[in-house]
Amino acid sequence: MFRGKPLLKYGLAAGIAGGTLLSLHGNQYQLDSIGIVRLSRAAFTVFQIGVIYKKDLYGKHLDKSSKEYSELKSICHTRSAQKLLQLCCTNKGVYIKVGQHIAALDYLLPSEYVDTMKVLHCRAPTNKIEDVYKVIKEDVKKDPFEIFDTIEPEPIGTASLAQVHKATLKDGSVVAVKVQHPYVQGNAKVDMKTMEYLVKLMSIVFPEFKFQWLIDESKKNIPQELNFAQEGRNAEKMAKMFENIDWLHIPRVRWDLTTPRVLTMDFVEGGQVNDLKYIQENYIDPREVCDKIGKLYSRMIFLHGFVHSDPHPGNILVKRNKKGQCDIILLDHGLYATLKENFRVEYANLWLSILNRDRTAMRSHSKNLGIEGNAYGLFTCMIAGRTWDSIQRGIDREQFSKSEKKFMKQAFTGILPQVSEILQNVDPQMLLILKTNDLVRSIEHTLRAGTGMGSFCVMSQCCVKSVYNQKYTNSQTKIEKIKVSLAEFWALLKIRVYYMFLSFRQISFFS
């Protein structure tokens, strides 16, 4: 029994498998013997997780406010997360992608799950080189060695949906070839349908949590990420959008060797953004790295509304340029959030209210993004990744400390139902933004740099430009447009003066 709801012992796994089979049949999804094994494996894993909580936590009838209950719950979370990790590594493909999504949800899910699943960002499964050759031959319609002079058998990177190999073309050009795992396309629809049923089952175990948003996002995003031709188009759009930024590099797509399952791009050297040893050995300033990433994402979100939404460390490289400064190399352009103008402006206004410590505006703009009542306080904490006290004191005035990070993890663990409610109700466009924010903050934490004054200044400027651009577009007369332009100029001037003052005060303090 889970929270008073009876479940038959082994009928649980069989029932969900049977229900999924009927649904898949009704939707004309292809389900072979391998699919049935994967489905049954997933159902049995959820059954095992349910037993862990039923037997070792709920069955103890402990006081939920007691230290013993808290410690036991943490143990159950860890054991269950390990079961889930094992399932992701065994079933691969979409399961690893969803596991990576879970790993990005700092403060939104129990830390035991987040920390356990983080290994999936760097330890995805690898296919044999023969499987890689097969996919290339099927999609490009040529034998790989008609195309490549050499192709390294060991991948230089592996991910949930593909792996990347360094290769040399017949003309001597060095390229990176991203090849989709051969089993992914065939299993994706079945896997997503299975996961949808598993989430419904988990809602029986945890009736106060709402995880449907995670499945809805995955169902929407996975087809995008499976189309490598679309990824190539995203890369070219991003390169065109930021062509005036000399420190940002996006490898050029080789369209003659690109298909929906094969993506070929120029090979670019660099170290992973979280590789502290590489950064130190190459005399790269971690603060410069974080500052540039912060500026880049502010422009993406608030000005362009086209946001690279998978900035985990494997997808961002850094290198020292000839000027002795840091270049950023952005990889994996499969997942982008395209933000509608009204959402982008509301989000910009919300950030301005956070930076201005304006509680009335925070409540108003949170409501416009789908968050009603006093939940706006928790929502703004999720957006900023800071405590309410820090927001009230000014997040641009003090750095994010280890003690604050520890406090947030502990605090959010105790209010997961409320967090889950927010994720269920917020504008769906916000879900990828939250994930992106957490991944960027994770990079800052790894580099021990934090968000600098330069990043806050640029973000504030981008927010103001976003808000006033809409006002300018909606202006009916030349006089109105002039007034809006002057108001924008004044707002931007105040921001520059304010952050110059903060920087001067900070320099004076440390002098």
Each residue's pLDDT tens digit in the chain (511 positions)?
333 333 333 334 444 444 444 344 433 344 444 667 877 888 888 888 888 888 888 788 888 778 888 889 889 989 999 999 999 888 887 888 788 877 877 666 778 888 898 888 766 778 899 999 999 999 999 999 999 999 999 999 887 789 999 999 999 999 999 999 988 887 887 788 777 777 776 666 666 556 677 778 788 888 888 999 999 999 999 999 999 999 999 999 999 999 999 999 999 999 999 899 999 999 999 989 999 999 999 999 999 999 998 888 888 999 999 999 999 999 999 999 999 999 999 999 999 999 999 999 999 999 999 999 899 999 999 898 888 998 998 888 777 777 777 777 666 666 777 887 888 889 988 988 988 888 888 888 788 766 666 678 888 999 999 999 999 999 999 999 999 999 999 999 988 888 887 666 554 433 4
Checking DSSP bridges between strand 162-169 and strand 174-180, what pairing results, if any? antiparallel
Of the three residues 203, 225, 247, the one that is the final residue of a domain is 225
- Nearest partner of 106 among 406, 486, 399, judged by Cα: 406
State the sign of the Cα–Cα–Cα–Cα dihedral 444, 450, 451, 454.
negative
- 131 located within any domain: no
* Domain assignment of residue 285, yes or no: no
Fill in the DSSP letter of residue 5: B
Tell me, yes or no, whether 349 and 483 share the same domain. yes
Residue at which a domain ends, from 196, 225, 254? 225
- The domain tally of the chain equals 2
State the catalytic residue, choosing from 106, 191, 291, 310.
310
In a domain, 384, yes or no: yes
Give the E-state strand segments of 39-143 in sequence order. none
CA-angle at 458, arms to 457 and 464, nearest 5° = 90
| Same-domain pairing of 218 and 92 | yes
Residues 361 and 212 in one domain: no
Tell me whether residue 424 is in a domain: yes
Whether residue 212 sits in one domain with residue 345: no
State yes or no: is 310 an active-site residue. yes
Do the domain assignments include residue 191? yes
Query: Is residue 388 in some structural domain?
Result: yes
Token digits of residue 334? 């499969």
Residue 151, in any domain of the structure: no
Residues 78 and 220 in one domain: yes
Domain limits for position 447: 338-510
Nearest alpha-carbon partner for 303 in 454, 465, 455: 465
- Burial string for 368-390 (b: 16+ CB within 10 Å, else e) reads ebbbeeebbbbbbbbbbbbbeeb
Question: Which residue, 194, 225, 256, sits at the end of a domain?
Answer: 225
Has residue 397 been placed in a domain? yes
